[in-house]
Structure 1
Amino acid sequence: MNTDPRWITTPLTADLVRGALELERTPHGLLPHRLPARARAQCADPQLAMAETQPSGVRLAFRTAATAVELDTLPTKRVYTGAPPRPDGVYDLLVDGQPAGQATVSGGSVLTVDMATGTTEHRPGEPGTLRFTGLPAREKDVEIWLPHNETTELVALRTDAPVAPLPDRGRRVWLHHGSSISHGSDAASPTGTWPARAAALAGVELINLGLGGSALLDPFTARALRDTPADLISVKIGINLVNADLMRLRAFAPAVHGFLDTIREGHPTTPLLVISPIHCALHEHTPGPTLPDLTALASGRMGFRAAGDPAERASGKLTLAVIREELARIVRERAAEDPRLGYLDGLALYGEDDAAELPLPDGLHPGADAHRRIGERFARLAFTAPGPFADVP
């Protein structure tokens, strides 16, 4: 920790953090949560607990004339048994909305995950420090986007000039929920996830509730969406339901209706966009569950396989093709009484041709280039006329 008296230590408070629904005071500092405590109390799933503390879309945002910034954090690194080491999480620096640097924090705690057995082991560690220098010597907006895939406790913020919260710029708030693809799996950095890219192009404030492995139509997630102020809302539904082999077609349609009904309780007229799954050859016509590809792991790479049987569709098992058809029907029927409800086919964001050009590295998640393409297409399809978010003042 830097103790140079020339540095100013600014208390880490909620008015300096954007994109989190709740901040938990820990022995080290502040832990951003993307689901509120009430929601977390209703589900003991360790996958959800890990996903919602990984701060995708969460950033420190402040106004300052500082030319140097230091941030102490305590990251939790993930290690998958038998898989190649994961790189340290990336912090993106934006100055007046433009990319101005990247950094990482080494060390920290370690969560070891054995995908073959489902067991985990947590080894505590110590905080580390990232530093950005050479910033313009003028008043400016500064944002530090936290690693989208690395649980991060905020410990201390130091600068060489005073810091103030960013003023309200009057930008619309876009609230998005989805799976690990929305969370940002395999994106290069936190501003490189497809929702972050789309938000930057559209000039909106992002709250990203993309929850890896956990977009499962949970009622507590619907209530979190219901209770979060927003000008625009989107929900990307489907892939995790197949991954988990969670429900059959009979349960799926009522669950979608209930999820949308709950959101509408708090946002009766807010533009609400339902997005179906992007192309994923594993599960286009083959149900789940999705399991680790142990052959891939043995060769030192991450991979997945579909463990279902296409014949099981007859008994109501879900595939991505079935889900797209059902979501389109549900939205079409509801839209007669809900004109601000829209539907976007995920294949328009990433389809079979895209998969041939930019294949999913592990068979399930888009890589960095595909994230960029999806974000740019979403910005065009949703935020420009005649897109559903284009006409919102």
Structure 2
Amino acid sequence: MKSQRAPVPGSSTTPRATDWTATPFTGDLLRGALDLERTEHGVLPHRLPARARAQCADGQLAMAEAQPSGVRLVFRTRATAVELDTLRTKMAYQGAPPRPDGVYDLLVDGHLAGQASVTGGNVLMMDMTTGSAETRPGPVGTVRFPGLPDRVKDVEIWLPHNEITQLVALRTDAPVEAVPDGGRKVWLHHGSSISHGSNAASPTTTWPALAASLGGVELINLGLGGSALLDPFTARALRDTPADLISVKIGLNLVNTDLMRLRAFTPAVHGFLDTIREGHPTTPLLVVSPILCPIHEDTPGPTAPDFSNLGEGRLQFKAAGDPAERADGKLTLNVIRDELARIVKQRAADDADLHYLDGRDLYGQTDFAELPLPDQVHPDAATHRRLGERFAALAFGIDGPFAAERA
């Protein structure tokens, strides 16, 4: 265990083994997951329901939805020490230095009180030159948070947003209980790897987590790295999930994968929004277009890996399409923004609760000059903070589409 825990008041004495209380993982202790799978090791949180997972065999989607971005354990306790056994699955790239360990964020009464990582676990070794992947098994690890304040408090443990995490055991030196619903509105968000939290410093500093904190809402994050592809099963998951506020960030993955042409894109967006509206007919629904990504503003996909700096641990990306192919209906980010704005304007004539946000208002040309995208696609930790602050101001602010509903 590699600890990054910030100092907190309270005892740092490790309890005797007989002093521990073991608590099973139940739905009332977990937030942000849509399904809990019982495994041979414990409980695996999923961000898509089983029915959705059964309709797609794509390995990228399977990995993304099982990485628990926004998923957290929430309980009330007097405990001064918490231990969590987990079995992680960490990604690695063949020929590149090891990636940083995932981080567990511990909050006490809403404030960050500690950070830690686990060792051991499985490694998913990716070979970007061949596209192959191999899982190398490893042991269960333990994350420890001693020295918590000796009083009744609400504790949240946010799981690493970038590591598949099976929950094996929870131990505390005092009993725990579920935290009653505090009456906060639920914000349901769907997007790509940027919404998932790619390159964020920790799970509470992904831009959706930051925006939720600033907006005073409960987050369910369906940001799915590489997998925001207007899939009907994702739309049905959004439709069937109780929520007070919904946003969908559409576009970048469709260009990355070169999945469809403009002819297919327009009805697919309509169908996606129609499905959401079946379950949420009057819920505020915000459609967000892509943030600035210069390599794909006017150049179609697919996005290809750039291996020139892989030996230094930096995987970068480049656009592999041809700008001339726009004439054949290939999608670029500017094409997608124009069409999304048109679709929302058309539908808003009959749907006063439908809204549009240009992603460049979250991160545009001026931001790129100051905070460039390190791999040409994904923001860094500082940019995640800016995105979260901008979204909170534009969506939850006094004139934002979510303002009246979040109170």
Matched to 1:99, the amino acid is: L
* C-alpha displacement of 1:116: 1.5
What are the Cα deviations for residues 170-226 of structure 1, in whole angstroms up to 9, with x where unaligned? Answer: 000000000000000000000010000000011100000000000000000000000
1:99-118 to structure 2, matched below 5 A, reads: 99-118=112-131
Say yes or no: does 1:289 pair with 2:302. Answer: yes
Q: Does the Cα contact within 8 Å between 2:97 and 2:311 map onto a contact in 1?
A: no
TM-score, length basis structure 1? 0.99
In structure 1, which of residues 143, 146, 153 is the aligned counterpart of residue 159 of structure 2? Answer: 146
Say yes or no: does 1:239 pair with 2:231. Answer: no
Say yes or no: does 1:4 pair with 2:17. Answer: yes
- Once structures 1 and 2 are overlaid, which stretch shifts more, 33-42 or 75-84? 75-84
Say yes or no: does 1:65 pair with 2:78. Answer: yes
Aligned to 2:34: 21
What are the Cα deviations for residues 296-316 of structure 1, in whole angstroms up to 9, with x where unaligned? Answer: 325542101100001111110
Aligned to 2:230: 217
In the superposition, relative to structure 1, how do residues 336 and 298 fare at CA in structure 2: closer, same or farther (>3 Å)?
Answer: same
RMSD between aligned residues: 1.0
* Segments ≥4 residues shifted beyond 6 Å: none
Aligned to 1:36: 49
Q: Does the Cα contact within 8 Å between 2:289 and 2:340 map onto a contact in 1?
A: yes
Matched to 2:266, the amino acid is: A
Corresponding residue SS for 1:295: coil
Q: Distance in 2 between matches of 1:85 and 1:77?
A: 10
Aligned to 1:339: 352
* C-alpha displacement of 1:384: 1.1
* C-alpha displacement of 1:294: 2.1
Matched to 1:161, the amino acid is: A
Matched to 2:99, the amino acid is: R
Matched to 2:341, the amino acid is: A
Corresponding residue SS for 2:403: coil
Say yes or no: does 1:195 pair with 2:205. Answer: no
What are the Cα deviations for residues 311-361 of structure 1, in whole angstroms up to 9, with x where unaligned? Answer: 111110000011011000000010000000000000000001101101111
Aligned to 2:59: 46
* C-alpha displacement of 1:115: 1.4
Matched to 1:20, the amino acid is: A
Q: Distance in 1 between matches of 2:129 and 2:322?
A: 21
Say yes or no: does 1:265 pair with 2:278. Answer: yes
What are the Cα deviations for residues 38-73 of structure 1, in whole angstroms up to 9, with x where unaligned? Answer: 000000000000000000000000000111100000
Say yes or no: does 1:350 pair with 2:350. Answer: no
Matched to 2:304, the amino acid is: L
* C-alpha displacement of 1:85: 1.3
In the superposition, relative to structure 1, how do residues 145 and 261 fare at CA in structure 2: closer, same or farther (>3 Å)?
Answer: same
Q: Which runs of no fewer than 5 residues in structure 1 stay unpaired?
A: none
Aligned to 2:386: 373
TM-score, length basis structure 2? 0.95
What are the Cα deviations for residues 131-173 of structure 1, in whole angstroms up to 9, with x where unaligned? Answer: 0011111111100000000000000000011100111100000
Aligned to 1:132: 145
- Once structures 1 and 2 are overlaid, which stretch shifts more, 115-124 or 46-55? 115-124
Q: Which runs of no fewer than 5 residues in structure 2 stay unpaired?
A: 1-14
Say yes or no: does 1:119 pair with 2:132. Answer: yes
In the superposition, relative to structure 1, how do residues 154 and 300 fare at CA in structure 2: closer, same or farther (>3 Å)?
Answer: closer
Q: Distance in 1 between matches of 2:130 and 2:205?
A: 32
Matched to 1:319, the amino acid is: T
Q: Distance in 2 between matches of 1:349 and 1:368?
A: 15
Q: Distance in 2 between matches of 1:309 and 1:84?
A: 32
Q: Does the Cα contact within 8 Å between 2:97 and 2:312 map onto a contact in 1?
A: no
Q: Distance in 2 between matches of 1:103 and 1:300?
A: 23
In structure 1, which of residues 272, 279, 289 is the aligned counterpart of residue 292 of structure 2? Answer: 279
Aligned to 1:55: 68
Matched to 2:141, the amino acid is: G
Matched to 1:356, the amino acid is: A
- Once structures 1 and 2 are overlaid, which stretch shifts more, 107-116 or 263-272? 107-116
